[in-house]
Protein backbone atom coordinates (compact mmCIF):
# COMPACT_ATOMS: atom_id res chain seq x y z
CA UNK A 1 0.00 0.00 0.00
CA UNK A 2 2.81 2.41 0.93
CA UNK A 3 4.76 1.58 -2.23
CA UNK A 4 1.65 2.00 -4.37
CA UNK A 5 0.94 5.37 -2.72
CA UNK A 6 4.49 6.57 -3.36
CA UNK A 7 4.27 5.46 -6.97
CA UNK A 8 1.00 7.34 -7.35
CA UNK A 9 2.54 10.48 -5.87
CA UNK A 10 5.55 10.11 -8.16
CA UNK A 11 3.35 9.80 -11.24
CA UNK A 12 1.38 12.84 -10.14
CA UNK A 13 4.54 14.90 -9.72
CA UNK A 14 5.84 13.88 -13.12
CA UNK A 15 2.47 14.71 -14.68
CA UNK A 16 2.44 18.10 -12.98
CA UNK A 17 5.94 18.80 -14.26
CA UNK A 18 5.01 17.80 -17.81
CA UNK A 19 1.89 19.94 -17.63
CA UNK A 20 3.88 22.94 -16.38
CA UNK A 21 6.42 22.55 -19.16
CA UNK A 22 3.75 22.08 -21.77
CA UNK A 23 1.81 25.10 -20.59
CA UNK A 24 4.85 27.35 -20.62
CA UNK A 25 5.02 27.71 -16.82
CA UNK A 26 8.55 28.49 -15.63
CA UNK A 27 9.02 26.23 -12.61
CA UNK A 28 11.94 28.27 -11.26
CA UNK A 29 9.81 31.42 -11.35
CA UNK A 30 6.88 29.58 -9.82
CA UNK A 31 9.03 28.94 -6.76
CA UNK A 32 9.76 32.64 -6.44
CA UNK A 33 6.03 33.34 -6.11
CA UNK A 34 5.94 31.67 -2.68
CA UNK A 35 8.24 33.57 -0.27
CA UNK A 36 7.11 31.46 2.69
CA UNK A 37 8.86 28.45 1.13
CA UNK A 38 12.21 30.17 0.71
CA UNK A 39 13.46 30.11 4.30
CA UNK A 40 16.58 27.95 4.16
CA UNK A 41 19.22 28.86 6.72
CA UNK A 42 22.34 30.30 5.14
CA UNK A 43 25.85 28.98 5.81
CA UNK A 44 27.77 30.88 8.47
CA UNK A 45 29.90 32.40 5.71
CA UNK A 46 29.41 32.30 1.95
CA UNK A 47 30.04 34.28 -1.22
CA UNK A 48 27.62 35.42 -3.89
CA UNK A 49 28.80 36.41 -7.35
CA UNK A 50 26.94 39.07 -9.33
CA UNK A 51 27.51 39.11 -13.08
CA UNK A 52 26.35 42.52 -14.26
CA UNK A 53 26.29 44.70 -17.35
CA UNK A 54 29.37 46.46 -15.97
CA UNK A 55 31.29 43.33 -14.98
CA UNK A 56 31.35 41.04 -11.96
CA UNK A 57 31.56 41.64 -8.23
CA UNK A 58 31.53 39.26 -5.27
CA UNK A 59 29.82 39.71 -1.92
CA UNK A 60 31.01 37.82 1.15
CA UNK A 61 28.28 37.29 3.72
CA UNK A 62 28.83 36.80 7.45
CA UNK A 63 25.69 35.33 8.95
CA UNK A 64 26.67 36.35 12.49
CA UNK A 65 26.56 40.02 11.43
CA UNK A 66 22.82 39.90 10.68
CA UNK A 67 21.40 36.34 10.52
CA UNK A 68 17.88 37.14 9.35
CA UNK A 69 19.18 39.37 6.60
CA UNK A 70 21.80 36.83 5.57
CA UNK A 71 19.20 34.07 5.35
CA UNK A 72 16.87 36.16 3.18
CA UNK A 73 19.73 37.19 0.88
CA UNK A 74 20.91 33.58 0.55
CA UNK A 75 17.46 32.37 -0.50
CA UNK A 76 16.97 35.20 -2.97
CA UNK A 77 20.31 34.60 -4.67
CA UNK A 78 20.03 30.81 -4.64
CA UNK A 79 16.61 30.90 -6.29
CA UNK A 80 17.43 33.48 -8.97
CA UNK A 81 15.45 36.43 -7.65
CA UNK A 82 18.05 39.01 -8.68
CA UNK A 83 18.58 37.70 -12.22
CA UNK A 84 17.79 40.36 -14.84
CA UNK A 85 17.05 43.03 -12.23
CA UNK A 86 18.07 46.69 -12.49
CA UNK A 87 20.19 48.98 -10.32
CA UNK A 88 17.31 51.43 -10.17
CA UNK A 89 18.59 53.97 -7.63
CA UNK A 90 22.15 55.21 -7.85
CA UNK A 91 23.21 58.16 -5.70
CA UNK A 92 26.87 59.12 -6.20
CA UNK A 93 28.93 59.37 -3.02
CA UNK A 94 26.15 57.55 -1.12
CA UNK A 95 24.91 54.16 -2.35
CA UNK A 96 23.48 52.00 -5.15
CA UNK A 97 20.14 50.26 -4.62
CA UNK A 98 18.57 47.20 -6.27
CA UNK A 99 16.32 44.25 -5.47
CA UNK A 100 12.99 44.76 -7.23
CA UNK A 101 12.24 41.82 -9.51
CA UNK A 102 11.63 42.65 -13.15
CA UNK A 103 8.51 40.48 -13.27
CA UNK A 104 5.55 42.14 -11.49
CA UNK A 105 3.90 38.74 -11.02
CA UNK A 106 6.85 37.74 -8.87
CA UNK A 107 7.51 41.06 -7.17
CA UNK A 108 3.95 41.48 -5.87
CA UNK A 109 4.39 38.38 -3.72
CA UNK A 110 7.37 39.91 -1.94
CA UNK A 111 5.94 43.38 -1.32
CA UNK A 112 4.93 42.47 2.24
CA UNK A 113 7.14 39.43 2.84
CA UNK A 114 8.86 41.23 5.71
CA UNK A 115 11.58 39.86 7.93
CA UNK A 116 12.28 41.14 11.46
CA UNK A 117 15.13 43.55 12.04
CA UNK A 118 18.59 42.39 13.05
CA UNK A 119 20.63 44.30 15.64
CA UNK A 120 23.23 46.52 13.97
CA UNK A 121 26.59 44.87 14.64
CA UNK A 122 28.62 46.33 11.76
CA UNK A 123 28.88 49.85 10.47
CA UNK A 124 27.73 50.82 6.96
CA UNK A 125 31.25 51.11 5.59
CA UNK A 126 32.23 51.48 1.96
CA UNK A 127 31.42 48.26 0.10
CA UNK A 128 29.13 46.91 2.81
CA UNK A 129 25.75 45.56 1.71
CA UNK A 130 22.55 46.16 3.67
CA UNK A 131 18.79 45.72 3.29
CA UNK A 132 16.72 48.84 2.64
CA UNK A 133 13.65 49.33 4.84
CA UNK A 134 10.43 51.35 5.09
CA UNK A 135 10.68 51.39 8.87
CA UNK A 136 10.97 48.85 11.67
CA UNK A 137 10.72 45.18 10.61
CA UNK A 138 9.98 45.91 6.93
CA UNK A 139 12.94 44.38 5.12
CA UNK A 140 11.90 42.43 2.03
CA UNK A 141 14.14 42.23 -1.06
CA UNK A 142 15.68 45.65 -1.64
CA UNK A 143 19.38 46.08 -0.95
CA UNK A 144 22.01 48.76 -1.19
CA UNK A 145 25.78 48.83 -1.35
CA UNK A 146 27.51 51.78 0.28
CA UNK A 147 29.75 53.89 -1.96
CA UNK A 148 31.43 55.39 1.12
CA UNK A 149 31.39 55.06 4.89
CA UNK A 150 27.79 55.91 5.88
CA UNK A 151 27.95 55.52 9.64
CA UNK A 152 24.89 57.73 10.02
CA UNK A 153 22.78 54.82 8.77
CA UNK A 154 23.83 52.63 11.69
CA UNK A 155 21.73 54.42 14.29
CA UNK A 156 18.77 54.29 11.91
CA UNK A 157 18.74 50.48 12.16
CA UNK A 158 20.38 49.52 8.85
CA UNK A 159 22.27 46.30 9.58
CA UNK A 160 24.98 45.24 7.08
CA UNK A 161 25.26 41.50 6.54
CA UNK A 162 28.17 41.33 4.11
CA UNK A 163 30.71 43.22 2.05
CA UNK A 164 31.98 43.42 -1.50
CA UNK A 165 35.31 41.59 -1.45
CA UNK A 166 36.12 41.88 -5.15
CA UNK A 167 34.83 44.07 -7.97
CA UNK A 168 34.09 47.21 -5.95
CA UNK A 169 35.46 49.13 -8.93
CA UNK A 170 32.63 47.55 -10.96
CA UNK A 171 30.05 48.66 -8.40
CA UNK A 172 31.40 52.20 -8.55
CA UNK A 173 30.95 52.27 -12.35
CA UNK A 174 27.20 51.48 -12.24
CA UNK A 175 25.36 54.09 -14.28
CA UNK A 176 24.13 56.96 -12.13
CA UNK A 177 22.67 59.20 -14.85
CA UNK A 178 19.07 58.58 -13.73
CA UNK A 179 19.78 59.13 -10.03
CA UNK A 180 16.57 58.60 -8.06
CA UNK A 181 14.17 59.23 -10.96
CA UNK A 182 12.83 55.67 -11.44
CA UNK A 183 9.54 55.42 -9.52
CA UNK A 184 9.47 52.39 -7.26
CA UNK A 185 5.69 52.07 -7.50
CA UNK A 186 5.93 51.79 -11.28
CA UNK A 187 8.73 49.25 -11.00
CA UNK A 188 6.55 47.19 -8.67
CA UNK A 189 3.57 47.21 -11.04
CA UNK A 190 5.25 47.23 -14.46
CA UNK A 191 8.69 45.75 -13.83
CA UNK A 192 11.40 45.80 -16.46
CA UNK A 193 8.94 46.89 -19.14
CA UNK A 194 8.72 50.28 -17.41
CA UNK A 195 12.45 50.55 -16.72
CA UNK A 196 13.51 49.50 -20.22
CA UNK A 197 11.20 52.06 -21.77
CA UNK A 198 11.85 55.03 -19.50
CA UNK A 199 15.42 54.35 -18.34
CA UNK A 200 17.03 52.17 -21.01
CA UNK A 201 20.62 52.75 -19.91
CA UNK A 202 20.24 51.39 -16.38
CA UNK A 203 22.86 48.82 -15.52
CA UNK A 204 21.55 45.45 -14.43
CA UNK A 205 22.35 42.09 -12.91
CA UNK A 206 22.62 39.36 -15.51
CA UNK A 207 22.82 36.57 -12.95
CA UNK A 208 23.59 36.17 -9.25
CA UNK A 209 24.86 32.85 -7.91
CA UNK A 210 26.09 31.31 -4.68
CA UNK A 211 29.75 30.44 -5.12
CA UNK A 212 30.68 26.84 -4.37
Q: What pTM was estimated for this model as a whole?
A: 0.88
Comparing CA positions, the residue from 110, 103, 100, 95 lying closest to residue 144 is 95
Bigger pLDDT: 131 vs 18: 131
3-state helix, strand, coil in the chain (%, to 5): 35, 25, 45
Q: What is the pLDDT of residue 27?
A: 62
Q: What is the pLDDT of residue 212?
A: 83
Are 71 and 48 spatial neighbours (Cβ–Cβ below 8 Å)?
no
The size of the chain, in residues, is 212
Comparing CA positions, the residue from 161, 126, 125 lying closest to residue 143 is 161
Instruction: Provide DSSP, 155-191.
Output: GGT--EEEEEEE-HHHHTTS--TTTT-S-HHHHHHHT
Q: What is the pLDDT of residue 185?
A: 97
- The pLDDT of 24-28, averaged and rounded, is 57
Q: Is the pLDDT of residue 25 over 90?
A: no
Q: What's domain 33-210's architecture?
A: Beta Barrel (2.40)
Comparing CA positions, the residue from 156, 74, 73, 67 lying closest to residue 118 is 67
Question: Could you read off the pLDDT of 115-149 as tens digits, one per residue?
Answer: 999 999 999 999 999 999 999 999 999 999 999 99
DSSP letter (8 states) at residue 148 = S
Are 59 and 162 spatial neighbours (Cβ–Cβ below 8 Å)?
yes
Comparing CA positions, the residue from 182, 166, 186 lying closest to residue 87 is 182
Query: What distance in Å separates the CA atoms of residue 163 and residue 121, rounded to the nearest whole number?
Result: 13
Which alpha helices (H) appear in the chain, and where do they start and end?
Answer: 2-22, 27-32, 67-78, 104-107, 168-171, 184-190, 192-198
The band of 9, judged by pLDDT with boundaries at 50, 70 and 90, is very low
Amino acid sequence: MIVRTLMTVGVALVAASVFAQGSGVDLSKAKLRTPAQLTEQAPEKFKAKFDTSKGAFVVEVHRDWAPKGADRFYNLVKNGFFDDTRFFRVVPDFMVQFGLNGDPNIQKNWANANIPDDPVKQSNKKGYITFATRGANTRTTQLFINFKDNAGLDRQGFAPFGEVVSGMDVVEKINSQYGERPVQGSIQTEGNAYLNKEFPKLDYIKKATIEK
